[in-house]
Amino acid sequence: MSVNNSKPLHHHWDIFCAVVDNYGDIGVTWRLAKQLVAEYDIPINLWVDDLLSFSHILPMLDPHKSKQMFNGVNIFQWNNPLDIAFIAGDVVIEAFACELPSQIKSTIDQLHQHPHHQAPTWLNLEYLSAEDWVEGCHGLPSSQPSGVKKWFYFPGFTSKTGGLICERELFNQRDEWQADSKHKLALFNKLGLQGINAQDTVISVFSYETPALAALCELWQTSPTPIHALIPKGRSLHSLTSILPCDIKYLMPGQQFTIGNLTLHILPMTDQNGFDR
């Protein structure tokens, strides 16, 4: 790997993401990267260790290409050791304690010790939490052996935390979309969902494995009005083996099962805009 220690012409940011499970890590970093580009005009390099999983929420992504761009974001395959030239920018974000490559940490140390260069600000982006202790930890530094400080960034729901990712026009777009039920019904039709009326209750389900989901479905079956649960292929389905009529490995997007007043709809994975809708 080659390292360029000079200050870059463009003050870009680098975000490193290790895809762990269920798309949470990559979902957050991808959304953050897009917003920083679109609303703050910050050049972003997004380094991801598992492009195949990433492609499940960004279908246009080619998992076999080491560098590509979507929505103005440079997306790099993060191999270990790093095999793509790294140029330090203004900020390095270590998403969810993914542990920066040793080469990157070495570069940050070198820049910190160089009298004529400035090391990038090093942020550790933590998981979202509503617990009280987050306010006391947000913004705290962690001094590294070289003297470099890594800063903890905790998203949250109060003014003493890092807040939430929310695009400027998101609520306006949501309100406009929800104002006309035809939009919702057109989306259901596009997804191949059948039997959903405008007045029916529709619940989007996305979760880890949990016995609570099966218990909820048993409750929804007895609802006095129709309920439709939209469940993408993934880990949520492992919680429903006791109520589904077939092995989950044979389930296909578009299938649906009615139990009492509950209909389960199996969805394909979708991109973030599709999931928002």
Tens digits of residue pLDDT in 2-48: 445 444 444 899 999 999 877 889 999 999 999 999 999 999 999 99
Torsion, Cα 264 268 273 275, to 10 degrees, reads 30
The pLDDT value recorded for residue 137 is 95
The pLDDT value recorded for residue 221 is 93
Structure tokens at 159: 């003014």
The pLDDT value recorded for residue 14 is 97
- The position carrying tokens 């529709």 is 202
Instruction: Show Cβ contacts of residue 195 under 8 Å, excluding neighbours closer than 6 positions.
Output: 228, 256, 263
Distance (Å, rounded) from C-alpha 144 to C-alpha 109? 9
The pLDDT value recorded for residue 93 is 97
Q: How far is CA 36 from CA 17, 41, 97, 138, in A?
A: 16, 6, 20, 20
Q: How far is CA 2 from CA 107, 149, 220, in A?
A: 10, 24, 57
Q: Are 139 and 151 within 8 A, CB to CB?
A: yes
C-alpha dihedral sign at 219, 220, 221, 224: positive
The pLDDT value recorded for residue 1 is 46
The pLDDT value recorded for residue 9 is 42
Structural domains of the chain ordered from first start: 3-153 (3.40.50), 171-276 (no CATH)
The pLDDT value recorded for residue 242 is 85
The pLDDT value recorded for residue 2 is 45
Q: Is 147 left (phi over 0), alpha (psi -120 to 50) or beta?
A: left
Q: Which regions in the chain score pLDDT beneath 70?
A: 1-10
Distance (Å, rounded) from C-alpha 51 to C-alpha 77? 7
Distance (Å, rounded) from C-alpha 185 to C-alpha 191? 10
**Of the candidates 130, 56, 127, 117, which has an alpha carbon nearest to the alpha carbon of residue 89?**
117
Q: Are 232 and 269 within 8 A, CB to CB?
A: yes
Say if pTM beats, i.e. exceeds, 0.85.
no
